[in-house]
Structure 1
Amino acid sequence: MKTHSAAAFTKAFDRITQSHYIQEAVVLIEDSQGNYSWSRGYGGRDIDSPLLMASIGKLFTTTCILALQERGQLSLNDRLAMYIDDQLLSGLHVYQGREYTSKLTVSDLLFQASGLPDIFEESKNATNARAIQQDFSYDLDDMIRWTKQLKPHFAPGTKGKAHYADINFDLLGAVIEKVNGTTIADAYEEFIYRPLKLTSTYLPLSVDDHIPSICYKEQRLNLPLFVCSCRASGGTITTARELMIFLKAFFGGKLFNSAVMHTLAQYNRLQLTMGPIRYGGGYMRIGLQTLLTAFRGSGELLGHSGTSGSFAFYYPKKEIFFVGDLNQLAKPSWPIRFVMQLAMKA
């Protein structure tokens, strides 16, 4: 780590928290050897404050899928129809007049290569904008019904194609529950919380569970129904301290055999609205030699961000981990830009 990195990190954090959009924030940076740890909080937040993981929770779902595969209880090549009722799925993926639903595999979902549309960005009925206006709940049946009203973007597994959609991971959650014979919350407990001794990380099951508020511009939103509905695609609550423990374990082979990672490192560019992000097997890849860094960066970031402002990324070139939260729905690209800046200064 550069001797001036701490000062550079502080400058970058102070700059982003000076925005009137950011009401609270936290960041934690550590190296893989445990020799370096730096953190900052803003607006009353620190590394033990609860935060909504949002789509970082997809890494939890990925962990469960890989652990079950390691046990021999499923294969990434398994058809989705092996685990979810045909009648419920029928008509989910109809592309150019041909039904592809029966061809959807666990791998298609994990790699965001199903071609299914994202109802939260593409549907007028159930979008992130609706959640900002009014808290509401939904379940997998709703997700499937809403998705059937939209057109897929390509046939499943089309080479070089990926399209980010939450339903991919909601369906994976249903697969995990079927295979493991438990709820997704219990699966997280079995495969993640217990092995890592996480005590402040949980998937809220009811509005009575503590669910942090989410900021949208100057508003502070309470969305317990919506967060409880996200489940396998991003409803988990954690802290920066415990998120760091998980992220190191995910990329360090403590939750599943790390030998599988090479099969996950097959990245395809996502839709234009996702910027420089490519998606592999359950996680994002962001190259640092891009227009956003004036092509001065090198290496890549691996991990995930959340639309609420959360982030969890590993920078293999420097063996550094970045986790935290900016808690701002109105600026979903900010956490990625922020981590890219931090990596450039490391």
Structure 2
Amino acid sequence: MATNRLNKLDKIFNQATNSKQIHQAVLLVENTSGDFSFNKGYGGMEVDSPMILASITKLFTTTCIFALQEQGKLSLDDQVTKYFDRTMLSGLHVYRGQENSYDLTLSELLFQTSGLPDVFEEGKASAKNRVVDEDFYINFDESVAWVKKLKPHFLPRTTKKAYYSDINFDMLGEIITKVNSSTLAEAYKQFIFEPLSLSNTYLPENEEDFVPNVYHRNKIIHRPKFIMSSGASGGCITTARELMIFIKAFFGGKLFSKDILDKLPLHNKLQASMGPIYYGSGYMRIPLSQLITMYTGKGELMGHSGSSGSFAFYYPFKDLYFVGDVNQLANASLPIRLTMKLAMMTK
């Protein structure tokens, strides 16, 4: 049975890397105990190759929020006015003439239910379009000012609505630094890197910190300034091997109590452009019994993907973890589709 599963994983990975969109890739699959393991690289990428985590970084930010909550240093019910000046917040969330900026809570940031717009994806002048052409640095205050120029999508706490936006996690990152009296990089080290002995995972802080290249279609681009400015919403670097250690710890209760995730069951479907993805307490959930799979899948994927092609998901139905990277900025659906195929084939 194990041999059959290995053959299926190998076949799916080979099919994926035959795509003209993928020039480099790496895949690592394990069960919780690690007695089942499969890994394969393509185009020079291996399990110890540096990779851009992009939005999987949000799982690190979530970990810090939960750890600080366990220490009693913050609450998900806290309003953002506890951590930010009202002048800074003013105009951030104005929906149909109503100012909602001061009513936002940490929970709404974490669950992507604030309704705030996303500067990375929205508009012709989006950060995603700009970063294809040039490398640039944008600080937190500039990100907030950029968000204020866009329109929120709904009122905070609107039932059954979620909207994926990086600013939610950028704000959580700022809150972590204030509550922990440290930089975000120091908080990551304290709550994640050191407890898990991750020596090749880091948040770039200066030009000396290595940032890998990423493909945009057939073009190789290098964007260290943008990665450094992405911080809590998407700035981390790691390897597939260390990402596997982390994702097992995240869902395994090694970094914070598993009860936290069990007590926060609320997940809402994201905007249509995000496909079949639900979002909740800092991570994605992708049910496999949906139209996209012709309702033939079982269970769900839990974890996160990144716009650079990275992915880290747990499939409880088969006790399997999928991590890796397809290193392609032009198609954010690639890692999602690959992981779904991997899960569907491991029967």
Which TM class, normalised by the smaller chain length? over 0.9
- Alignment partner, residue 177 of structure 1: 177
- Alignment partner, residue 141 of structure 1: 141
Alignment of 1:264-275 (within 5 A): 264-275=264-275
Alignment of 1:205-220 (within 5 A): 205-220=205-220
1:286 match: secondary structure: strand
Structure-2 separation of matches of 1:338 and 1:264: 28
Q: Which amino acid aligns with 2:32?
A: S
- Alignment partner, residue 29 of structure 1: 29
1:85-129 C-alpha deviation (Å, 9 max, x unpaired) = 211111101111110011000000000000000111114444201
Structure-2 separation of matches of 1:146 and 1:22: 32
- Alignment partner, residue 78 of structure 2: 78
- Alignment partner, residue 258 of structure 2: 258
- Alignment partner, residue 151 of structure 2: 151
- Alignment partner, residue 291 of structure 1: 291
Alignment of 1:41-56 (within 5 A): 41-56=41-56
1:282 match: secondary structure: coil
After TM superposition, where is structure 1 displaced by more than 6 Å over at least 4 residues in a row? Answer: none
1:131 match: secondary structure: helix
1:265-291 C-alpha deviation (Å, 9 max, x unpaired) = 211000000000000110000010122
1:17-39 C-alpha deviation (Å, 9 max, x unpaired) = 11122111000000012210100
Structure-1 separation of matches of 2:124 and 2:20: 29
- State the Cα distance separating 1:263 from its structure 2 match: 2.7
Structure-2 separation of matches of 1:245 and 1:309: 19
- Alignment partner, residue 304 of structure 2: 304
Structure-2 separation of matches of 1:97 and 1:263: 35
8 Å contact from structure 1 (residues 309, 334) kept in 2: yes
Percent sequence identity over aligned pairs: 54
Consecutive unaligned residues in structure 2, runs of 5 or more: none
2:40 match: secondary structure: strand
Structure-2 separation of matches of 1:340 and 1:17: 15
8 Å contact from structure 1 (residues 76, 106) kept in 2: yes
Q: Which amino acid aligns with 1:79?
A: Q
Structure 1 vs Structure 2 CA RMSD: 0.9
- State the Cα distance separating 1:148 from its structure 2 match: 0.5
2:204 match: secondary structure: coil
| 1:324 to 2:288 alignment | no
- Alignment partner, residue 235 of structure 1: 235
Structure-2 separation of matches of 1:34 and 1:208: 34
Structure-1 separation of matches of 2:334 and 2:314: 17
Residue correspondences, number: 346
1:53-111 C-alpha deviation (Å, 9 max, x unpaired) = 00000000000000000000000000011011211111101111110011000000000
| 1:198 to 2:198 alignment | yes
- Alignment partner, residue 246 of structure 1: 246
- Alignment partner, residue 15 of structure 1: 15
Structure-1 separation of matches of 2:18 and 2:108: 41
Q: Normalising by the residue count of structure 2, what TM-score does the alignment of the two structures yield? A: 0.98
8 Å contact from structure 1 (residues 264, 282) kept in 2: no
Q: Normalising by the residue count of structure 1, what TM-score does the alignment of the two structures yield? A: 0.98
Q: Which amino acid aligns with 1:56?
A: I
